[in-house]
Amino acid sequence: MALQAASLVSPALSVPKEGKSSVCLKDSSLFGISFSDHLKSEFSSSTLRCKRELNQQIGAIRAQTTATESPAVNKAAPDGKKTLRKGSVVITGASSGLGLATAKALAETGKWHVIMACRDFLKAERAAKSAGIAKENYTVMHLDLASLDSVRQFVDNFRQSGRPLDVLVCNAAVYLPTAKEPTFTAEGFELSVGTNHLGHFLLSRLLLEDLNKSDYPSKRLIIVGSITGNTNTLAGNVPPKANLGDLRGLAGGLNGLNSSSMIDGGEFDGAKAYKDSKVCNMLTMQEFHRRYHEETGITFASLYPGCIATTGLFREHIPLFRLLFPPFQKFITKGYVSEDEAGKRLAQVVSEPSLTKSGVYWSWNKNSASFENQLSQEASDAEKARKVWDLSEKLVGLA
């Protein structure tokens, strides 16, 4: 079964070497599901309204700040060449795993200042030190995504720091596969969707304005997705599968009291809640793209960095799983990547000049070449994306 699984998997993961071209059908139709075109632009009247409001806000802030900011490109370098100031990137959950590895990869280039947005300040400081990130290349700022007050406070603090925002990476996540009962965020949302999706939704909506103000040549908003939320892959078909259903639980506030704690209204299942949250992440990225890319020029992207089987994500899983999962991924599925390698991949999505295309879900082939991957039918459903956006707006107090 496992070996069969591996042979089923390889076609799904193998792609043209150059990676830039889109994936052939064989790569993405493992379960015979047809894919809708997730890059298709769709502008609703509410989209236009949002844009107008955003532009008004941005215009006002621009007027206040342009005089004080140093430009991204200095024309007067001594050798006559144009120089680019350091990019400023916020990474949520940079205290371990993928976020930390990405912070390290970016800081090492000397071209980036990383704002590590973390819930545990001391842990983040220690992590940065032990990863060898030079002091001048990072700042730790407190952010607890499981509290919308904390998200708003972070945005205020960040603005007060006076730093520009060139790239935002929504990376933090929790995974609670063994929980029998749901736990909740400060506002009473089921913890996995509340943290992974709703906390990031509010953060990125608020910081969109700051991104738009940046004069950096390539501004990006990146939301980390995953293969396990995509049911067009073998990994996405391991039960329990992601399924947002008709969103009745989300509409009810995921509070487990007068509504279900699950998006689809079903019984609580921690592993499913995580996968559902990743579907929301991927839908949100596309909805951002549809609403704001043309207007702002910001690149919106998501990615599956590979299976980083050794990270803290699996801290709540049973010890046997934690023991067997890395060798299983290394030797059987061959989907394993190290934290370092995954960090380099996400760092590419942050800074590679060639990865500016918006609305894309990036993946990598065995030679670590990036390619535009296809999302599952649900994760590329434009109508669902719009509904998730509208319901999320209400829950986080934006509408």
Hey, which residues are catalytic here?
274
Question: Is residue 273 near ligand NDP by the rule CB under 6 A?
Answer: no
Give the residue nearest to ligand PMR (CB): 335
CB of 321 to ligand LMG, least distance (A): 6
**Within positions 242 to 271, which residues make up the interface with ligand PMR, using CB under 6 A?**
271
Q: Does residue 146 interact with ligand NDP by CB under 6 A?
A: yes
Using the rule CB under 6 A, is 179 a contact of ligand PMR?
A: no
Contact pick of 28, 96, 299, 392 for ligand NDP (by CB under 6 A): 96
Before 240, cis peptide (omega within 30)? Answer: yes
Q: Which does 122 bind (CB under 5 to 8 A by kind): ligand PMR, ligand LMG, ligand NDP, none?
A: none
Count CB atoms within 10 A of the CB of residue 352. Answer: 11
Q: Quick one: which of 176, 136, 194 has its CA closest to 395? A: 194
Residue nearest to ligand NDP (CB): 97
Question: How does DSSP classify residue 317?
Answer: S
When computed from its CA atoms, the radius of gyration of the chain, rounded to whole angstroms, is: 20
What's the min distance (Å) between Cβ of 198 and ligand NDP? 11
CB 224 within 8 A of CB 343: no
What is the rounded distance in angstroms from the CA atom of residue 101 to the CA atom of residue 46? 38
Residues 6+ apart with CB under 8 A from 33: 231, 232, 376, 377
Cβ distance to ligand PMR smaller for residue 88 or 329: 329
> CB-wise, 114 or 174, nearer to ligand NDP?
174
The backbone torsions φ and ψ at residue 293, rounded to the nearest 5 degrees and listed phi first, read -65, -50
Subset of 225-244 contacting ligand LMG (CB under 6 A): 238-239
Which partner from the list ligand NDP, ligand LMG, ligand PMR, none does 119 bind, CB cut-off 5 to 8 Å by kind? ligand NDP
Instruction: Identify what 324 binds: ligand NDP, ligand PMR, ligand LMG, none; CB under 5 to 8 Å per kind.
Output: ligand LMG
Region near ligand NDP per CB under 6 A, out of 14-22, 117-125, 129-137, 374-382: 117-125
Rule CB under 6 A: say whether 99 interacts with ligand NDP: yes
Terminal alpha carbon distance of the chain: 49
Extract the tokens encoding 142.
């407190």
Selected from 60, 238, 257, 324, the binder of ligand PMR by CB under 6 A is 238
The interface with ligand LMG within residues 316-335 (CB under 6 A) comprises 321, 324-325, 327-328, 331
By the 8 A CB rule, do 91 and 103 touch? Answer: yes
- Specify whether the CB–CB gap between 224 and 305 falls below 8 A: yes
d(CA 395, CA 231): 27
CA-to-CA distance for 378 and 194, rounded, in angstroms?
20
Which of ligand PMR, ligand LMG, ligand NDP, none binds 9 (CB below 5-8 Å, type-dependent)?
A: ligand PMR
CA gap 307, 149 in Å, rounded = 32
Cα three-residue angle 152-153-157, rounded to 5 degrees: 120
Query: What is the CA angle 199-201-204, rounded to 5?
Result: 105
Whether the Cβ atoms of residue 392 and residue 50 lie closer than 8 Å to each other: no
Under rule CB under 6 A, which residues in 245-284 are in contact with ligand LMG? 271
Footprint of ligand LMG on this chain (CB under 6 A)? 1-2, 177, 238-239, 271, 321, 324-325, 327-328, 331
Footprint of ligand NDP on this chain (CB under 6 A)? 92-93, 95-99, 118-120, 123, 143-146, 171-174, 195, 224, 226, 304-305, 307-309, 311-313
Footprint of ligand PMR on this chain (CB under 6 A)? 5, 9, 175, 177, 226-228, 234-235, 238, 271, 274-275, 307, 333, 335
